[in-house]
Amino acid sequence: MKTKLNVTALQIPLFWENAGKNRVYIDRHFDRLNPTADIVLLPELFSTGFTMNSHLVSESMNGITIQWMQSWAAQWDVLLGGSLVIEEEGKFFNRFVMVGPKGPVALYDKRHTFTLAGEDKAYSAGTNSGLFEYKGWKICLRICYDLRFPVWNRNTTNYDLLIFVANWPAPRINAWDTLLQARAIENMCFVAGVNRIGSDEKGLEYPGHTAIYDPLGKLVSGTVSSEEEALTAELDCLELQAHRKQLRFLEDRDNFDLC
């Protein structure tokens, strides 16, 4: 197992429904990527912005954006992740894909579609767990609105790192800050939350607040800035295990079945 995992989160603006322009823009960051990175994270729907026109902008798992992700993952020998619009068998998904040098290694389809914006009408809700292992770390993938549902995020599988990618708007940013920290504390895990910046075609403003928390809820790396940034944190699994051994909170968690 790799005891220390280096995670880089890109807090960036997005261009509306323009995958090519977004890829070119992100290329600039990849050209100067931290060489120690193991995982690089992009925001939710990084190729299009939070559009409900899923039928107009969708790609396949063999599409150009996945191929672009694989190319960069191979060049830097990293795991590259973010969500994008994927079509499968006539259904559209807000899909979080983690891509390695040889292709996708994990995916998660957003379970809690954001009804306030009509996401439930434009996208199918996912049913998969979003759990996978990488370099000995157990990792759980989630997307934006999922953050509000602690039962769905409950650490019943002893995952080490919980990742959220988001387009979380300014009026509710306090909830983003608070819930990210809460998910770290209650699940005794590292939590990384990547939010976009800038504005979209709907007039919504996104203030960033990308952050990475340790298992006790301490901020490891983060910003309250709405500026473009690449945040990097070194996560230590031995530190995580020490906290869990000393503070056995997860052993006292409630048992439940999720319908």
Tell me which of 17, 59, 140, 144 is the catalytic residue.
144
Tokens 């995992």 sit at which residue? 5
Tell me which of 17, 59, 110, 229 is the catalytic residue.
110
Sign of CA dihedral 169, 8, 142, 15: positive
For residue 154, what are its two tokens? 């409950």
For residue 159, what are its two tokens? 């995952």
Residue 110 a catalytic site member = yes
Classified as helix, coil or strand, 206 is: strand
Residue 144 a catalytic site member = yes
For residue 71, what are its two tokens? 């190319």
Strands 211-213 and 219-222: antiparallel
Tell me which of 17, 44, 59, 229 is the catalytic residue.
44
Residue 87 a catalytic site member = no
Please state at what angle helix 64-76 crosses helix 19-30, rounded to 10 degrees.
0
User: Across the beta sheet with 131-134, what order do the strands follow?
Assistant: 131-134, 137-143, 161-166, 190-195, 211-213, 219-222
Classified as helix, coil or strand, 110 is: coil
Tokens 């396949």 sit at which residue? 60
Residues with a known catalytic role: 44, 110, 144
